[in-house]
């Protein structure tokens, strides 16, 4: 079954072709970072307009690369939520129009389920059940996964997501958007011994997260380091290192706690922040002590992408799930509401 996947939930346009027998055939991604960087964050109207411009050319590019025609497509999957409503509507409208024209089924896919299943695109992939850490600009969640559509939310951020906290900390340090990669590069030059930032909510029971207090602590430290209104490059590097260490340390502690609570030995990490090399290294080292494994997608599939939507859509379309007449995009969409896929566990 050959599935065309479209991802347009936020500021990246992703298109991919996934075959249930042959795997991923082709994928393409256009990032809107250059459009939004001057505003320090995503402007929804600009994001929607750029999806309109880029999605069809990317579809043509991917189909040409894979050497397939519309007659070869068996179904279309698109991101139906969560995300920016205008951006979601672009992908949904185009997917449904193409599906009608080509005479194939179409299905709206949950964006975070796409991230959760992205490691399945790798040759070495996890087996169910496992705990998933979904960590991105909009979400920080720990989820028990017993199969596709069999999800139990264990904990989530009560305020800023980890990726959002990275963006805000970067802005405090005068770094460009998006903040995560810039913080990580600057942190490499920082002194890990100079500052010790708090690890939020690790001393209380439960698996929820909170990064607002860490954000305030970072801002206060930046202000304390100002001399004649300026913060030196070394001060910025030391603050970046302390901030990154605090976020990574918090995530690692919560992941170990979740695995122990659920009695599992497999962790999946996905979402944009999962590309952070420090986080990967610390998790791998910490879980080795627990005789546990961690799986994550290739870096190209950590951020939003069409491949994860094509894969997730293929599993559900193969099981006979399709859009109905009352299907709508959903800017907010709890993942626990998704129906299970029979036999996928």
> Residues at the annotated binding site for substrate?
134-138, 167, 180, 276
Q: CA of 338: how far to CAs of 8, 305, 341, 343, in Å?
A: 20, 20, 9, 15
DSSP string for residues in 246-268: HHHHHHHHHHHHHHHHHT--EEE
Q: Say how far apart CA 148 and CA 124 lie, in whole Å.
A: 18
Residue 52: exposure state from Cβ atoms within 10 A (0-12, 13-18, ≥19): middle
Name the binding residues for Fe cation: 111, 115, 304
Question: Residue 29: left if φ>0, alpha if ψ -120 to 50, beta else—which one?
Answer: beta
List the structure tokens of 231. 């913060």
SS3 category, 268: strand
Cα Rg for the chain, rounded, in angstroms? 20
> How many C-beta atoms surround the C-beta of residue 205 within 10 A?
8
Write down the residue that tokens 């992408």 correspond to.
305
Binding residues are 111, 115, 134-138, 167, 180, 276, 304
Q: What is the DSSP letter of 84?
A: -
């Amino acid at each position: 079954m050959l599935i065309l996947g479209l991802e347009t939930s936020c500021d990246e346009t992703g298109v991919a072709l996934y075959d249930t027998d042959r795997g991923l055939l082709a994928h393409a991604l256009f990032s809107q970072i250059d459009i939004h960087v001057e505003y320090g964050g995503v402007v929804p109207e600009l994001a929607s307009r750029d999806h309109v411009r880029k999605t069809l050319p990317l579809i043509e590019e991917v189909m040409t690369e894979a050497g397939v025609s519309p007659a070869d497509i068996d179904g279309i999957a698109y991101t139906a939520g969560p995300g920016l409503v205008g951006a979601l509507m672009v992908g949904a409208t185009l997917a449904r129009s193409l599906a009608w024209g080509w005479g194939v089924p179409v299905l709206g896919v949950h964006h975070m389920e796409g991230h959760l299943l992205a490691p399945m695109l790798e040759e070495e992939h996890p087996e169910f059940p496992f705990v998933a850490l979904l960590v991105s600009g909009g979400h920080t969640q720990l989820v028990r996964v017993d199969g596709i559509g069999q999800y139990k939310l264990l904990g989530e951020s009560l305020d800023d997501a980890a990726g959002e906290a990275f963006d805000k900390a970067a802005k405090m340090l005068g770094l460009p958007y998006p903040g995560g990669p810039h913080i990580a590069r600057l942190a490499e030059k920082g002194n890990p011994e100079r500052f010790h930032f708090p690890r939020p909510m690790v001393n209380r029971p439960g698996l929820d997260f909170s990064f607002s207090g860490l954000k305030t602590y970072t801002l206060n430290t930046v202000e304390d380091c100002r001399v004649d209104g300026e913060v030196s490059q070394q001060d910025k590097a030391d603050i970046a290192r302390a901030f990154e260490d605090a976020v990574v340390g918090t995530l690692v502690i919560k992941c170990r706690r979740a695995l122990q609570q659920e009695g599992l030995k497999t962790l999946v990490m996905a979402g944009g922040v999962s590309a952070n090399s420090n986080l990967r290294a610390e998790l791998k080292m910490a879980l080795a002590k627990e005789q546990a494994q961690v799986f994550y997608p290739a870096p190209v599939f950590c951020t939003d992408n069409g491949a994860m939507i094509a894969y997730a859509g293929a599993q559900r379309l193969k099981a006979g799930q399709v859009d109905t007449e009352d299907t709508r995009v959903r800017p907010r969409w709890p993942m626990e509401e998704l129906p299970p896929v029979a036999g996928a566990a």
